[in-house]
């Protein structure tokens, strides 16, 4: 660590940048999105609040950096299983999606919380989010190629699947799942999806 000056002697401490993102993520997980203030993060990272503006331009820029990690984690979760059976792969992907959201609820809420995404670093954020979605599209293409899923526009099918699973975990995180066993209800949803797509 402390790998200072990567290219030229410029940029004396990219380590500070890393420390700030780590601190922001730590505060996010520990105290929630509302507690992620510039002052709190800077203190946690052992830096002055100005550091956030020097490195990320704004608070949104810093949060974007955290969310990039979140979308990368989501993509990893969705891509984790590569069962040769297309339907099994899709189901595993759906279950991993929920596992990710429930395991990193603060991340998920910040990523999809409805409030306008940070404008600072929005393009990078969009790229990482799209990459996660593309992993799902790949699973759909795989299923269609193997004849396990009805033919159709893979993008549209993936969007439909994403809508469903996102809605389910979103409601669950918001405490709006009224059934006694949310896991079982989620499983019903997955089964309904694959049944409708076959």
Whether 64 and 124 have beta carbons less than 8 Å apart is answered as: yes
Give how far Cα 107 sits from Cα of 67, 150, 154, 190, Å: 7, 34, 27, 23
Nearer to DNA, 61 or 73 (CB): 61
Whether 56 and 120 have beta carbons less than 8 Å apart is answered as: yes
Q: What is the DSSP string of 56-67?
A: HSSHHHHHHHHH
Q: Shortest distance, CB of residue 48 to DNA, whole angstroms?
A: 3
Q: Shortest distance, CB of residue 65 to DNA, whole angstroms?
A: 13
Q: Which residues in this chain contact a copy of itself in the complex, by CB under 8 A?
A: 33-34, 109, 112-115, 117, 129-130, 133, 153, 155-157, 159-160, 162-168, 170-171, 173-174, 176-179, 184-185, 188-189, 191-193, 195-197
**Helical (H) or strand (E) element with 49:** none
Q: Shortest distance, CB of residue 165 to DNA, whole angstroms?
A: 31
Whether 182 and 102 have beta carbons less than 8 Å apart is answered as: no
Nearer to a copy of itself, 87 or 171 (CB): 171
Q: Which residues in this chain contact DNA in the complex, by CB under 7 A?
A: 5, 8-13, 16, 36-40, 47-51, 53-55, 58-60
């Amino acid at each position: 660590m402390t790998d200072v000056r990567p290219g030229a002697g410029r940029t004396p401490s990219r380590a500070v940048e890393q420390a700030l993102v780590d601190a922001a993520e730590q505060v996010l997980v520990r105290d929630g999105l509302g507690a992620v203030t510039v002052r709190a993060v800077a203190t946690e990272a052992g830096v002055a609040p100005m550091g956030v503006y020097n490195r990320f331009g704004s608070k949104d820029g810093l949060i974007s950096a955290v969310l990039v990690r979140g979308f990368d984690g989501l993509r990893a979760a969705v891509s984790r299983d590569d069962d040769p059976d297309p339907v099994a792969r899709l189901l595993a992907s759906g279950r991993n999606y929920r596992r990710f959201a429930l395991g990193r609820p603060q991340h998920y809420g910040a990523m999809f919380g409805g409030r306008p995404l940070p404008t600072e670093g929005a393009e990078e954020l969009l790229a990482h989010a799209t990459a996660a979605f593309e992993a799902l599209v790949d699973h759909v293409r795989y299923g269609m190629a193997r004849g396990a899923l009805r033919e159709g526009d893979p993008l549209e099918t993936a969007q439909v699947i994403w809508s469903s699973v996102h809605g389910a975990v979103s409601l669950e995180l918001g405490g709006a799942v009224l059934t006694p066993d949310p896991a079982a209800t989620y499983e019903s949803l997955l089964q309904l999806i694959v049944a409708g797509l076959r």
